[in-house]
Amino acid sequence: MNLLGLAAVALGIPVGLLLARLSARAGDEAPTPRRLAAFALAAPALAVWAQAAHPGAAGVLGALLAWQLLLLAVLDAEHLWLPLPATLSLIATGLLAAAALGPDELAARAAGAGLGWIALAGLAAAYRRLRGREGLGGGDAVLLAGGGAWAGWAALPTILVWAALAGLSAVAVLAFAGRPVARTRELPFGVALALGVWLAWLYGPIGRI
């Protein structure tokens, strides 16, 4: 790992502590020592993972992506909430990273952001019309748009496949543990989407893994 990568890993510790405080603030609580420790370990670990897959500057950008996804996943898991400023920040940072790679990459990622939002917003609208109730939160569509902004339009199917696999696995684990999921129960799909975005950015389309 080069110096740039080491710096990103070291930066992960204070970033993790900041994320712990932000996630706790959503519940109007001070972060517990356990939360602080978990984030302080998770953030640099994600930076190491990003460097392992994409050494150098690309891995540093990957750490930035991972830290944002970590916060969003925790907020959705704990509060079923994907705050708009955080999801819009995901889109903005993805497009800024793409701009440094040239106009073609920026166009691909801008298309990814737009198509990602349209896909889930359209699905949510269709479900609402057919079933008369909400099936997806509005934040999920913006999160997928952020995934498109970071990984490009071609990664959207891969993101959704990973997210579906993660979601189905979670439901299966709950059922096996004797806690079956009712059809009307709200689930934090943003957690599965965040994992899908991360894996798609790291490894590209599933066929290439």
Q: What is the pLDDT of residues 58-95, one digit of tens each?
A: 999 999 999 999 999 999 999 999 999 999 999 999 99
Could you say which DSSP state residue 152 is in? Answer: -
Sign of CA dihedral 143, 125, 170, 115: negative
Nearest 5 degrees, angle CA 46-CA 16-CA 63?
35
Give the DSSP per-residue string, 81-110: ---HHHHHHHHHHHHHHHHTT-HHHHHHHH
User: Does one domain contain both 73 and 89?
Assistant: no
Each residue's pLDDT tens digit, 15-47: 999 999 999 877 667 889 999 999 999 999 999
User: Does one domain contain both 66 and 122?
Assistant: no
User: Does one domain contain both 203 and 109?
Assistant: yes
Give this prediction's pTM: 0.93
Between CA 140 and CA 147 the distance in angstroms is: 11
Residue 182 pLDDT level (bands cut at 50, 70, 90):
low
Residue 124 pLDDT level (bands cut at 50, 70, 90):
confident
Q: Which of 79, 102, 122 is the last residue of a domain?
A: 79
User: Does one domain contain both 124 and 44?
Assistant: no
Between CA 185 and CA 80 the distance in angstroms is: 11
